[in-house]
Chains A and B, each alone.
Chain A
Amino acid sequence: MLKIQKLGTALLLAAGILATTFANASEGATSYAYPIDNAYAATIIGTPNGYKAKLPEYTDIPAKEYALKEPGKTDSIPDVFWYEKKGLKYTLTAQKQKAPLVFAIAGTGATHLSSKMKLFQRAFYNAGFHVVSINSPTVSNFMLNASETAIPGNLEEDAEDLYKIMKLIMEQHPELEVSQYDLIGYSLGASHAAFVARLDEKEKAFNFNKVMMINPPLNLYHSVQKLDRMLEDNIPGGMDNFNTYFRNLVNNISEYHKDNPGISMLSSDFLYSAYKDRNPSDYNMQALIGVAFRLSSANLIFVTDVANNLGYVVPKGTKLTSTTSLTEYSKATRRLGFVDYVNEVYVPYFNRKTGKDKAALVNDTSLLSIKDYLTHTDKIALMHNENDPILQAGEIDQIKSLFPGRAMVYPTGGHCGNMEYKDNVDYMVNYFKTGSNNRATVASINNGSMK
């Protein structure tokens, strides 16, 4: 059964690659030179050094970290998360003079300091914008300090939390001179950006000038199902044998390091060079993507469980302190998937709250649920990749159809792997820099395929 599924995936993938090749040939977009064709490798490695956009280093821009405390929130944070009691953390990089401001929202499990958020800081500060980076609503710092429920994933409620703290952040910086507001997000942060923009149409606190969504899932639930399976289907012998997979991985890194003493293990090109030399199988790489996602979902499950005293993995009323060993809970929560969270925490909670059934709640996590808004607004642009592995077959076309004339879809890049590539950075920056009635010109400067 497993083999058949894998074969199916491989065939779909092959079909996808063929389709992409032909699509590109017909559109003349052959000069996109992001160097990693494999979707999984691109997702893991990102952009190799020689291909990155030339930008100032993060340490060379005036990025400052701040904390925002909502009255009353801090007292309710359990002691085991004592380090989150300082408030919601975010980064502001400010220009000295009046400038447009870009809000950036992080993807699943990522904080305002993730490398992709630092990329936004560097690129947009360099282009003359103020930049504010905000944690994903799926990380503990946000869940505990800024969320009404600490049960993330409901895009509309997450957007309300985000919108509220974006307003509070601006109140914290009355000295900042802002000419207009823009919004960007990647992965789940892109979905959040869409819902925040939609909320802003009613609330009008920011009147966003432009919004960009980078590699959003079409339907959050479909994508987490796929990511859960990437791990569970690809560990030989099943999850009980994860340790063997892990030992193998470490041994491979170890061997490669031994054979190549000249490449620092900490350098970003270590993985790229290892990938080119060793050609790991797709199954191995899928499993690795699955691992990264599993770590995020385990974090989320533990935090929501403790913060809400759910009795999900941690028995109700359990006393955890700043020095309690959490090792057993880390092992336990990593055996559950994001789908378990959706079915056993998310759906029951929002079912009680709204009366909606599972199908309706799952539908709410889809961009299709705000189709009318997305297709009609002209302020939101999409940047995506044909081979994004978090999407199910056919979903990329559905996403494209939501952004008529506003979708830039690159042939390669996997899930967010090409964000640092110079063409992509140019495209993002130019999109926001160009005047609002000048969008068509922006599209034509690039080599991707404009849909």
Chain B
Amino acid sequence: MINTIIQKLISRRLYFVVLAVVLLPACSAVQPVVPEDAPEAMHPVKELVKDDVEYAIDIYDPFEGMNRNIYIFNAQLDEYVLIPVVNTYTTYVPSLLRQGVHNFFSNIATVTDILNSGLQLKGDKTLNNSVRFVSNTTIGLLGVFDVATGMGFPQQKEDFGQTLGYWGAGEGPYLVLPFFGPSNLRDTTGLITDSLVNTYFLDEVGLNYDSGWEFFYYIMLGIDTRAAIPFHYYESGSPFEYETLRLLYTEGRKVLIAD
């Protein structure tokens, strides 16, 4: 059973993730090439950056060369495919319906929220997320309406990457995943695990490859997910956007793991 799911995932949805993980070690960071006869800069890096000083921006990134390539791939995927699709979606689909779609996917993700809250022994969150799932699935008509938030049970997301972090797993190397963006080894492991659980859950409720709905499901999930992220590549105005995003992602995850 698990075997078929894994095969299915590898053959289709997560192909690129796996490909990335396999290829990553082949590429390390590309360092600037300084001409041999270049005069020393007015403020050389070695004068401004000290070895004995810690810098928040230094994050373990042994596959930086590959990561930067995937970053560029993601930026172009965004520009030529995802953003135009999302724009069409937001232009032609009324916001009420979009909200319903968003609630529907959030509700399905609540399954892993419950599991991961439980795995982190967080009683309050597990209860909160369980009540959410039950009430939104029933009264909220399969999750299309988020009635739970109004009842005092707000969304409290927990993923398997957070669970691993909670139990002390380190981040591992920073990774930029195709389609998914910033991650690290711990969170990629979490992402794959949560996806397996979700796929299993969807299979159980009859949404599988044979039903023909799975393809549509993932397309809509992709659009909804992208539409909810207020980030556009290369619009930060900073030439150090890769570094900045790497820092924000890493620190943001620490905050989420600590809660």
A interface with B by C-beta (< 8 Å): 59, 80-81, 83-84, 89, 109-111, 113, 135, 139-141, 240, 242-243, 246-247, 250, 253-254, 257-258, 261-262, 265, 295-296, 298-299, 302-303, 310-332, 335-336, 340, 344
- Whether B35 pairs with A318 at a CB distance below 8 angstroms is yes
* Secondary structure dominating the interface of B: loop
Which residues does chain B contribute within 8 Å of A298, judged by CB atoms?
A: 240
- A331 cross-chain contacts in B, Cβ below 8 A: 45, 48-49, 55, 57-58
What residues on B are CB-neighbors of A316 within 8 Å?
Answer: 35, 38-39, 41
Of the A-B pairs whose beta carbons lie under 8 Å apart in the complex, a sample of 20, sorted by A's number, is A111-B236, A243-B55, A253-B255, A258-B258, A299-B237, A303-B239, A312-B43, A315-B38, A315-B39, A315-B40, A315-B41, A324-B31, A325-B29, A325-B68, A330-B57, A331-B45, A331-B55, A332-B48, A335-B49, A340-B43
Say yes or no for B97: interface residue by CB 8 A criterion.
Answer: no
Contact assessment for A318 and B32 in the assembled complex, using a CB-CB cutoff below 8 Å: yes
Question: How many pairs of A and B residues are in contact by the CB < 8 Å rule?
Answer: 152
Contact of A326 among B33, B39, B42, B239 (CB under 8 A): B239
B255:A111 contact, CB within 8 angstroms: no
Q: A315-B40, A330-B57 are in contact. Are A240 and B50 (CB under 8 A)?
A: yes
B100 within 8 Å of A by Cβ? no
Chain A residues contacting B49 (CB-CB under 8 Å) are 328, 331-332, 335
Q: Are B34 and A318 in contact (CB under 8 A)?
A: yes
Closest 6 CB pairs of A and B: A319-B33, A139-B237, A330-B240, A323-B68, A83-B234, A315-B38
Q: Are B48 and A322 closer than 8 Å at their CB atoms? A: no
Known A-B contacts: A113-B232, A313-B42, A318-B32. Give 20 more (CB < 8 A).
A59-B90, A89-B235, A113-B235, A140-B237, A240-B53, A258-B259, A295-B238, A299-B238, A302-B240, A313-B41, A315-B35, A317-B34, A317-B35, A318-B34, A319-B35, A320-B32, A322-B72, A323-B68, A327-B240, A336-B43
B189 touches A (CB below 8 Å): no
| B interface with A by C-beta (< 8 Å) | 29-35, 38-45, 48-50, 53-58, 64-65, 68-69, 72, 75, 90, 154, 156, 232-240, 242-244, 251-252, 254-255, 258-259
Find the residue from B72, B237, B251 having the highest chain A CB count within 10 A.
B237
- Chain B residues whose CB sits within 8 angstroms of the CB of A320 once the complex forms: 32
